[in-house]
Amino acid sequence: MTIMLSVVSISICTDAVSAEIRQVYVSGELAGFDLSDQGPIVVGFDQVSTNDGVSPAQHSGINIGDVIYSIDGIRTEDIDAVKTRLMCSGETITVTCLRGGESMDFDVTPIVSDEGDKAIGCWLKNKFTGIGTITCYIPEENQIVMLGHSVSNSGSIVPTVYSGAMYKAHFMSVKKGEVNSPGEIRACFDYSAPVIAKLETNSNSGLYGSINPWAASWLNGFSCTISDKYSIKSGHAEIICDVDGNGPQSYDIEIESINLNRGEKNLIIKVVDHELLDLTGGIIQGMSGSPILQDGCLIGAVTHVLVNDPTRGYGIFIENMLEVAN
């Protein structure tokens, strides 16, 4: 079992990479993010508390992952708007949902629960928030890249980014990882603070956005050669992350195996740095996106931790992440 965790010209190792990327800054800074779609997202169903115990939404054909765009033609931008429309609704309502880029209408009959409230029997989520690590900044594209995997709900719902922002994260503490008990970086961020980047894409290879001009200097990144996947070898490498609030630091790891074809799990890595093991127990949530370097080249980013062995986890090739950025 695995868990998803959250400056200068460079030389390029191969023609395939150089055709796309010309400049990059490696980061390792912690950042907070929030993503929202065009309305609340259905994340589950619930049997309404009545004698029948049914879910009108599920019965009508609404699916987990659908976005509630409107009710009876009136926009529902958040959960409060849905509640308001239900209170004013008649016996049957028309719920317009967005699914896979298409708009679909469903006739739903709300049920009055035992508590006297109208309900359609589904759990909704306004936005997805979290903490992760910034992998790199691409000046020529004005893009920032983080996480190395998608933001999702329990690994199943991947929201489209209609509105999203990245913020500075403030380190608080660390919960050390143990076998079958993943650790985490505990951090917070302020929604009223200046936005680092406007997030635009949530993909299997990470979060991507347009960076605000002031944030480039805050990243404190450094120039680094991009390595293609064929140049990576088993053995010593390093990751860059902030696990103590003192800014990004370099820690030793070993690359145990390399998979040239597998999605965002291209590398199996093992933490061997005694300082990092003492601080975190290995790879913990919040380290997703931590840059992986080998022989001075940026080769990828941390993506997942192995629950049964927190010293080990997965990484994604930087090539795969930059393909989306391009």
- Whether residue 146 is found in the same domain as residue 275: yes
Two tokens at 107? 């006739």
- Whether residue 81 is found in the same domain as residue 158: no
* Closest to 123 (Cα-Cα) out of 164, 101, 154: 154
pLDDT in tens, 103-118: 999 999 998 877 777 8
| Structure-token match 């795969």, residue found | 320
Whole-number mean pLDDT of the chain? 86
Q: What's the whole-number mean pLDDT along residues 229-244? A: 95
Dist CA 317 CA 325 (whole Å): 13
- Whether residue 267 is found in the same domain as residue 202: yes
Dist CA 60 CA 92 (whole Å): 11
Q: Indicate the residue among 94, 120, 146 that finishes a domain.
A: 120
Q: Helix/strand/coil (H, E, C) string of 96-122? A: EEEECCEEEEEEECCEECCCCCEECCE
| pTM summary value | 0.83
Quick check: 314 and 269 in contact, CB under 8 A? yes
Looking at residue 13, what is its pLDDT?
Answer: 40
Dist CA 111 CA 93 (whole Å): 11
Residue 171, in any domain of the structure: yes
- Whether residue 12 is found in the same domain as residue 51: no
Quick check: 48 and 55 in contact, CB under 8 A? yes
Dist CA 213 CA 32 (whole Å): 18
Two tokens at 56? 């009108």
Quick check: 237 and 256 in contact, CB under 8 A? no
Looking at residue 20, what is its pLDDT?
Answer: 55
Residue 42, in any domain of the structure: no
Dist CA 73 CA 252 (whole Å): 56
In this structure, are strands 23-26 and 8-9 parallel, antiparallel, or unpaired?
Answer: antiparallel
- Whether residue 138 is found in the same domain as residue 229: yes
Looking at residue 61, what is its pLDDT?
Answer: 93
Two tokens at 278? 């003492």
Quick check: 20 and 322 in contact, CB under 8 A? yes
pLDDT in tens, 127-179: 888 999 999 998 888 889 999 888 886 556 666 777 889 999 999 999 999 99
- Whether residue 55 is found in the same domain as residue 163: no
Dist CA 289 CA 227 (whole Å): 17
Helix (H) or strand (E) holding 236: strand 235-241
| Structure-token match 């391009």, residue found | 326
Residue 6 has pLDDT above 60, yes or no: no
Terminal-to-terminal C-alpha distance of the chain = 32
Give me the domain span that covers residue 70: 47-120
Cβ-based neighbour number of residue 230 at 10 Å: 12
- Whether residue 255 is found in the same domain as residue 170: yes
- Whether residue 242 is found in the same domain as residue 132: yes
pLDDT in tens, 249-276: 999 999 999 998 877 799 999 999 999 9
Q: What is the DSSP letter of 126?
A: E
